[in-house]
Amino acid sequence: MNALTLQWYDAGQLKTQQIYEQQPTKSPGTFRIGRDPIRCDILLSHPTVSGLHVEIFFHTQQQCFLIKNLRPQNPPLVDGQQLIQGELPLFKGSVIQLGQMQLIVINLSIPNASNVPATVLVPPQPPVVPIVPPQQPHLNQQLNQQLNQQHFHPRNSPVPLAKPQAIGLQCPKCHRVSSIEHLQVGCPWCGTSLAAAASVLIPPGN
């Protein structure tokens, strides 16, 4: 059953009213709100509310509840938008401002409405490689045995890493390069302080 629930405060009291699609009202097919007890289904007491202010009805083709202004001289605000003429749809959480009174749509139930979730495209994920926990050493041994039994082609053999190069200090006076251990004692050839020496790479074997 299509239904909408309104909630508001009137004279310090919290009030709730549920509106159904097929509901006996003073004006069949619509639910009217205002201060006039003869023409309205929801009565509001504040003087800033018109006698016949707005009406709410269910639109079968659009499958939604709509609100229509019945007082152009005193237009309501619906979700911050002024409604002078025509209709606006209502949603759960919609705020209706009539004069200085505020009504909130706290619930909206439309079972036949099409609620098709948006399609989310997920990029393909790489295969998950199982990780052997360190607390299971027997599994590690099995993996090592399997690797040892495989025959690797020479092209698949690992490439040996190059030997890392050492860093030396070039004396600012005689320009000779000494190891970085001489930073505190100075150049071993001329005794010059190496605090301002340039860092250079020492080729392997030197």
3-state secondary structure string across the chain: CCEEEEEEEECCEEEEEEEECCCCCCECCEEEEECCCCCCCEECCCCCCCCCCEEEEEECCCCEEEEEECCCCCCCEECCEECCCCEEECCCCCEEEECCEEEEEEEEECCCCCCCCCCCCCCCCCCCCCCCCCCCHHHHHHHHHHHHHCCCCHHHCCCCCCCCCEEEEECCCCCCEEEHHHHCCCCCCCCCCCCCCEEEEECCCC
Domain CATH number, residue 30: 2.60.200.20
**Span 132-160, average pLDDT:** 52
Within-domain flag for 187: yes
Q: Do 103 and 182 sit in the same domain of this protein?
A: no
Q: What does the alpha-carbon distance between residue 143 and residue 55 come to, in Å, rounded to a whole number?
A: 75
Q: Do 8 and 94 sit in the same domain of this protein?
A: yes
**Which is nearest to 83 in space by CA: 44, 56, 51, 113?**
56
**Contact yes or no for 49/9 (Cβ under 8 A):** no
Query: Which among 81, 109, 137 is the end of a domain?
Result: 109
Within-domain flag for 42: yes
Side-chain-side CA neighbours of residue 44 (13 Å) = 26
Query: Which pTM does this prediction carry?
Result: 0.54
Query: Which among 109, 126, 153 is the end of a domain?
Result: 109
Q: Do 9 and 98 sit in the same domain of this protein?
A: yes
Residues 166-183: pLDDT tens digits? Answer: 677 788 888 888 877 777
pLDDT at 74 over 60: yes
Q: Do 98 and 11 sit in the same domain of this protein?
A: yes
**Span 192-202, average pLDDT:** 72
Q: How many domains does the chain have?
A: 2
Q: Do 11 and 78 sit in the same domain of this protein?
A: yes
Q: Do 78 and 170 sit in the same domain of this protein?
A: no
More confident of the two residues 143 and 47: 47
Q: What does the alpha-carbon distance between residue 87 and residue 182 come to, in Å, rounded to a whole number?
A: 87
pLDDT at 138 over 60: no
Q: Do 8 and 102 sit in the same domain of this protein?
A: yes
Within-domain flag for 125: no
pLDDT at 2 over 80: yes
pLDDT at 125 over 80: no
Q: Do 11 and 105 sit in the same domain of this protein?
A: yes
**Span 91-96, average pLDDT:** 96
| Domain residue limits at 187 | 166-202
Q: Do 18 and 87 sit in the same domain of this protein?
A: yes
Within-domain flag for 101: yes
Alpha-carbon distance values, 28 to 22, 38, 109 (Å)? 9, 14, 20
Q: Do 176 and 104 sit in the same domain of this protein?
A: no
Q: Do 11 and 100 sit in the same domain of this protein?
A: yes
pLDDT at residue 112, as a whole number: 74
Query: Which among 109, 133, 151 is the end of a domain?
Result: 109
